[in-house]
């Protein structure tokens, strides 16, 4: 009994403390070092923040370079697919364009009317847009985020909204000097205040970790109000983080509670970061 | 002369294969996620670290593994140090298995692998969920564990072949 316990102790001691010829640190030293790093990353000291930013800067750049061949192959693959479907796409786009031209006329009128009404209540929304390239978009099964090539040197701040064309895709959660991380709407930790139109109900959109989102925390029951119509989800602007009126996604009447995001987060190449200011002169 | 150079180059490539693949996998997420299959993912780095630290630890140093873990944390956006800790736990188990094993057995290794991936994923989920309050999808972690476990024999055959090549070239 004592013999087997001795063997166990020797095996454990050898595993944790013994170093091979080429190894500089023992396993135990590195285990303690990693625990130390985990504990340190929990604190927001200036020096730790600077070290973190330095590591992020270098790692994101190297990862971007390493991913270049794979991204090139993926681009070629999607280009070939696009060429194959070119005629069908042309027909679809042609019919969509007709419909959009008709809609644009009524939209222009609504836009002008909206501006007039805002003037009446002395409110204006000013926003700045900054175009950014997506450096890394690793489709991790656990966390959904992307890395942009803009950082504090371009005056990016945590909390800014990120859009693909006009559609919201997420918000900035980490800013380094030349790059930043965006938490996508599909991430489990993403919570965005929204308004469901045309029924006008306030809600919170949460990510599911998959390709769609879900509605949470509605003040009133909305399923009866949907009936046979589709619902468009816009940012409500509550909390002042996001500009109000950014399109987020669509809820189909046959699948209530599930939001299909307008933007395809797996195809992001360039995005816009939006900062906005709501001014009321009362 | 040229064949000698060619041989030394291929020996060098083979001997740096484990480190090269580890860094490539953490920088580039080598796990077929780009196939966009909803319920499919596996952790290539776990298989690679387990195999090489068990069979031929001279070609995959602990410091490299520690650094690869830090890089992985930065890229996927979780607090720095968690993956390093998990990777080094794999090394601890493999070092222990090496010390107590006289005749290696594939089934024992495979079951030990299952034990260690269950342990490290549980630790990772616990730290993320309870300490850093980052919500994670438990089902996706479970699926990842299952596929990582299933894929181990396939990579075992491939890595075993490369390991034999390395050993033969070093002995030549």
Mind listing the pLDDT tens digit for each residue in B116-147? Answer: 999 999 998 998 888 888 888 888 889 889 99
> For the complex shown, is ipTM > 0.90?
no
Q: What is the pLDDT of residue A222?
A: 67
Which residue matches tokens 């847009």? A129
Q: How far apart are CA B56 and CA A170, in angstroms?
A: 44
Distance from CA of B20 to the nearest CA of A (A): 12
Instruction: Look at residue A197 and tell me if it is in a domain.
Output: yes
Which residue matches tokens 């006008």? A200
Interface size, chain A vs chain B, as Cβ–Cβ contacts under 8 Å: 138
Distance from CA of B96 to the nearest CA of A (A): 5
Residue among B34, B38, B88 whose CB faces A34 most closely: B88
Distance from chain centroid for Cα A122: 33
Let me know: does A233 contact A205? Beta carbons within 8 Å.
yes
The CATH number that applies at residue A209 is 2.40.10.340
Question: Which residues of A are less than 8 Å from B136 in CB distance?
Answer: 142-143, 188
* Beta partners for residue A167, in sequence order: A164
Instruction: Look at residue A99 and tell me if it is in a domain.
Output: no
In 3D space, the residue among A159, A178, A179 whose CA is nearest the CA of residue A170 turns out to be: A159
For chain B, the helix, strand and coil percentages under 3-state DSSP, each to the nearest 5: 80, 0, 20
Q: What is the pLDDT of residue B153?
A: 93
Residue-range definition of the domain harbouring residue A208: 126-280
In 3D space, the residue among A181, A121, A125, A126 whose CA is nearest the CA of residue A151 turns out to be: A181
Q: How far apart are CA A93 and CA A264, in angstroms?
A: 18
Question: Which residues of B are less than 8 Å from A136 in CB distance?
Answer: 75
How confident is the model over B52-65, as pLDDT tens digits? 999 888 888 888 99
Q: How far apart are CA A53 and CA A68, in angstroms?
A: 23
Question: Which residues of B are less than 8 Å from A10 in CB distance?
Answer: 99
Return the percentage of chain B with pLDDT > 90, whole number: 28
How confident is the model over B98-107, as pLDDT tens digits? 888 778 888 9
Token digits of residue B101? 């094993």
**Residue B4: exposure state from Cβ atoms within 10 A (0-12, 13-18, ≥19):** exposed
Instruction: Look at residue A79 and tell me if it is in a domain.
Output: no
Let me know: does A239 contact A226? Beta carbons within 8 Å.
no
Residue-range definition of the domain harbouring residue B82: 2-171
Q: What is the pLDDT of residue A58?
A: 84
Question: Which residues of A are less than 8 Å from B77 in CB distance?
Answer: 143, 145, 174, 181
Number of domains in chain A: 1
Instruction: Look at residue A81 and tell me if it is in a domain.
Output: no
Q: How far apart are CA B99 and CA A18, in angstroms?
A: 11
Number of domains in chain B: 1
Q: How far apart are CA A59 and CA A51, in angstroms?
A: 12
Q: Which residues contact A84 (CB under 8 A, 6 or more apart)?
A: none
Contact A16 B95 (CB under 8 A): yes
Contact B77 A70 (CB under 8 A): no
Task: Mark the ranges of chain A whose per-residue pLDDT is less than 50.
Answer: 281-282
The CATH number that applies at residue B9 is 1.10.1760
Q: What is the pLDDT of residue B151?
A: 92
Instruction: Look at residue A63 and tell me if it is in a domain.
Output: no
Token digits of residue B147? 């596929």
Distance from chain centroid for Cα B63: 14
Q: What is the pLDDT of residue B118?
A: 94
What is the pTM assigned to this prediction? 0.77
Q: What is the pLDDT of residue B115?
A: 92
Cα distances (Å, whole numbers) of residue B2 to A38, A182, B6, B14:
49, 51, 6, 18
Q: How far apart are CA A112 and CA B127, in angstroms?
A: 52
Residue among B62, B95, B96 whose CB faces A25 most closely: B62
Q: What is the pLDDT of residue A84?
A: 85
**Residue B168: exposure state from Cβ atoms within 10 A (0-12, 13-18, ≥19):** exposed
Token digits of residue B43? 């952790």
Q: Please calculate the CA angle B35-B39-B42 and round it to the nearest 5 degrees.
A: 70
* Beta partners for residue A231, in sequence order: A251
């Amino acid at each position: 009994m004592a013999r087997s316990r001795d063997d166990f102790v020797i095996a454990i001691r050898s595993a944790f403390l013994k170093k091979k010829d080429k190894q500089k640190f023992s396993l135990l030293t590195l285990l303690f070092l990693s625990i130390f790093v985990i504990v340190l990353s929990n604190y927001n000291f200036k020096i730790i923040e600077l070290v973190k930013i330095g590591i992020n800067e270098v790692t994101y750049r190297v990862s971007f370079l390493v991913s270049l061949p794979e991204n090139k192959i993926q681009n070629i693959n999607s280009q070939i697919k696009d060429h194959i479907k070119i005629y069908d796409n042309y027909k679809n786009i042609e019919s969509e364009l007709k419909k959009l031209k008709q809609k644009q006329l009524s939209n222009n009128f609504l836009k002008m009317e909206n501006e007039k009404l805002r003037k009446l209540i002395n409110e204006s929304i000013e926003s700045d847009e900054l175009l950014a390239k997506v450096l890394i978009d690793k489709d991790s099964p656990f966390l959904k985020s992307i890395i942009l090539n803009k950082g504090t040197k371009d005056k990016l701040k945590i909390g800014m909204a990120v859009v693909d064309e006009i559609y919201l895709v997420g918000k900035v959660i980490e800013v380094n000097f030349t790059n930043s991380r965006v938490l996508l709407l599909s991430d489990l930790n993403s919570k965005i205040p929204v308004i469901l139109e045309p029924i006008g109900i306030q809600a919170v959109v949460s990510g599911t970790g998959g390709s769609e989102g879900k509605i949470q925390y509605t003040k009133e029951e909305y399923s009866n109000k949907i009936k046979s119509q589709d619902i468009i989800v816009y940012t409500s602007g509550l909390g002042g983080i996001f500009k109000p009126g950014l399109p987020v996604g669509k809820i189909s009447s046959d699948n209530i509670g599930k939001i299909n995001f307008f933007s395809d987060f797996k195809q992001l190449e360039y995005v816009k970061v939006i900062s906005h200011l709501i001014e009321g002169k009362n | 002369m040229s064949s000698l150079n060619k041989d030394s180059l291929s020996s060098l490539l083979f001997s740096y294969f484990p480190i090269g693949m580890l860094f490539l996998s953490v920088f580039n997420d080598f796990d077929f996620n780009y196939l966009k299959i909803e319920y499919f993912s596996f952790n290539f780095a776990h298989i690679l670290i387990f195999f090489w630290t068990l069979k031929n630890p001279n070609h995959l140093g602990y410091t490299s593994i520690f650094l690869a873990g830090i890089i992985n944390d930065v890229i996927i956006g979780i607090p720095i140090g968690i993956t390093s800790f998990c990777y080094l736990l794999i090394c601890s188990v493999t070092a222990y298995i090496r010390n107590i094993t006289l005749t290696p057995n594939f089934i024992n290794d495979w079951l030990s692998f299952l034990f260690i991936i269950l342990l490290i994923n549980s630790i990772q989920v616990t730290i993320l969920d309870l300490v850093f309050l980052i919500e994670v999808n438990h089902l996706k972690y479970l699926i990842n564990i299952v596929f990582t476990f299933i894929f181990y024999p396939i990579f075992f055959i491939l890595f075993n072949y490369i390991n034999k090549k390395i050993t033969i070239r070093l002995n030549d």
